[in-house]
Amino acid sequence: MDGPIFITDTLCVEGARAEEVRDRYLDDYAPTAQARGMTLESTTLCPPVLLDKGTNALIFEWSVPDLAGWWRMRLGGAGDERVTQFWSGIAPLIVDRSRTLRVPFEGGQQGNV
């Protein structure tokens, strides 16, 4: 498969902790991701206002140029102690988290799964 792969990290946090979590993600995790070839495309907040009571979603959109870039990102992070330490250190601040992967879909694409 040729072309970019988009990676979305969604971190659900109490609104009062959103800025702290965003800053830690950008200061501690993002440099390790960038070193593995990931490009941060955007950082967004949902809903579009910090909630005093309730959960906000911090959404970090990344990209890698191709499947080889995805493998570099994936295998590089698996052995990086800084990545493991970041996620374990931030876990108490996160209500839920997910990562999704997407590719442009033009139709007619098939793969072996």
Cα–Cα distance for residue pair 69/58, rounded to 1 Å: 24
Percentage of the chain lying above the pLDDT 90 cut: 73
Cα–Cα distance for residue pair 93/15, rounded to 1 Å: 11
Task: pLDDT band for 107, please (50, 70, 90 cuts).
Answer: low
Please, which residues have CB within 8 angstroms of residue 24's CB and are 6 or more apart in sequence? 86, 89, 90, 93
**Between residues 53 and 24, which one has the greater pLDDT?**
24
CATH number given to 5-102: 3.30.70.100
| CB neighbour class for 24 (10 Å; exposed up to 12, middle 13-18, buried from 19) | middle
Show me where the domains of the chain are located: 5-102
Find, among 92, 82, 100, the residue nearest to 35 by Cα: 82
| Mean pLDDT computed over 56-62 | 98
Please, which residues have CB within 8 angstroms of residue 27's CB and are 6 or more apart in sequence? none
Task: pLDDT band for 113, please (50, 70, 90 cuts).
Answer: very low
Between the alpha carbon of residue 74 and those of residues 15, 31, 48, 70, 71, the distances in Å are 30, 15, 30, 6, 5
Q: What's residue 1's pLDDT?
A: 58
